[in-house]
Amino acid sequence: MTDHGISQRKLDHIALALGSRSQFTQPTGFEQLHFVHQGLPEVSLEEIDLSCEFLGKKLAAPLLIASMTGGPIQGGRINHYLAQAAQNTGIGMGVGSQRIMFLDPASHASFDLRKYAPDILLLANLGAVQLNFGFDENHCRQAVEMIGADALYLHLNPLQEAIQPEGDTHFKDLWPKIAHLVQVLTFPLLLKECGCGLSGELAKKAAEVGIAALEVSGAGGTSWALIESQRSTDPLRRQLGETFANWGIPTPLSLQFCRQAAPKMPLIASGGIRSGLDAAKALAMGAQMVSVAHPFLQAATESPEALSARIQLFLMELRVAMFCVGAKNLDELRGKELIRF
């Protein structure tokens, strides 16, 4: 794979993620979960406090702009808009896979976000499978240092790699390498899925080796099987992506599995979270943070103003949900009951 090929792949991902056939056709399951409304919440809307601390950083709200892109000019422009919005609203942000930075020096500018967002929680990102293809702790350190990040995601995407025409599918013997990174790196290491969810078994193992946090990225939002299917010119591979279009653990179920298996593990909920109400439900289920991609990507391709408005709406939705259940802060929200019907 040449650096030009990776750049084109990232452009394809942006275009297809915004297309009409990029999303799961099955719902996440959040729509089946309902709070018990409090007609007299005994709290003022103005006093609702969304602030929190995560990985040693103070944030205005428990919200991350999810890892999405970087590399090509369009990806750089989107990243710059996202970083500015995160700085202005006091939330965090992850970047897309930085593998391209090690192949194409020209791509560095698209990840140079600290000049736009000097204060935010910023998460670097590399594919865990690359540890089987020559990447090691030095690449991890460089990924963090080159962008001034606070921590590093290792993303897990076996289904996407299996469908992707250029996919790397050698996922064997990665746990010893991940455990070694935890021991030698001086910054937090997180694991995240890419739309298929994390199991309780994986969460338990992650806790045992010392992973700092997990992002579940469950089924119900963007389907990378569908996206990679549309990128392929091979009819068999295109059908393969269609077969697995709705594969994965729905986000609420993945949260439940991970919380039961690793009670003390900090969890980031993502995967089909489309509103602040969805976020409130995920936080009530035990997530410390929520991470959102598609709604913010869509807005970022329109204008910085559209992106800012979309984030403000999301935070207003979260605040109103907390108001209507009588939770004046996030600790109180996590004690609120959800019923299923």
* First CA to last CA distance, the chain: 48
> What CATH architecture applies to the domain 3-340?
Alpha-Beta Barrel (3.20)
Q: What DSSP letter does each residue of 95-119 carry, written as one string?
A: ----GGGGT-GGGHHHH--TTT-SS
The residue that leads in pLDDT, 246 or 14, is 246
| Whole-number percent of the chain with pLDDT over 70 | 92
Domain ranges within the chain, ordered by starting residue: 3-340
Least confident of 51-65, 115-129, 293-307, 308-322: 293-307
Q: How far is the CA of 178 from the CAs of 171, 205, 206, in angstroms?
A: 12, 11, 9
What is the per-residue pLDDT for 14?
60
**What is the token pair recorded at 170?**
């050698």
What are the pLDDT digits (tens) for 25-73?
Answer: 888 999 999 999 999 999 999 999 999 999 999 999 999 999 876 655 5
| Whole-number percent of the chain with pLDDT over 90 | 76
Whole-number Å distance between alpha carbons of 168 and 1: 11
Average pLDDT over residues 177-185: 98
Residue 7 has pLDDT above 80, yes or no: no
Whole-number Å distance between alpha carbons of 262 and 92: 24
What is the pLDDT of the chain when averaged over all its residues? 92
Determine contact, residues 171/131, Cβ cutoff 8 Å: no
Determine contact, residues 89/304, Cβ cutoff 8 Å: no
Determine contact, residues 100/69, Cβ cutoff 8 Å: no
Whole-number Å distance between alpha carbons of 88 and 213: 25
SS3 143: helix
* DSSP class of 25: S
Q: How far is the CA of 35 from the CAs of 114, 157, 256, 333, 338, in angstroms?
A: 38, 32, 17, 10, 5
Residue 322 has pLDDT above 80, yes or no: yes
Residue 180 has pLDDT above 90, yes or no: yes
Q: How far is the CA of 194 from the CAs of 10, 198, 219, in angstroms?
A: 15, 9, 9
Determine contact, residues 81/304, Cβ cutoff 8 Å: yes
What are the pLDDT digits (tens) for 244-264?
Answer: 999 999 999 999 999 999 999
**pLDDT-based confidence at residue 224 (cuts at 50, 70, 90):** confident
Angle, alpha carbons 238-250-81 (nearest 5°): 75
What is the per-residue pLDDT for 300?
87
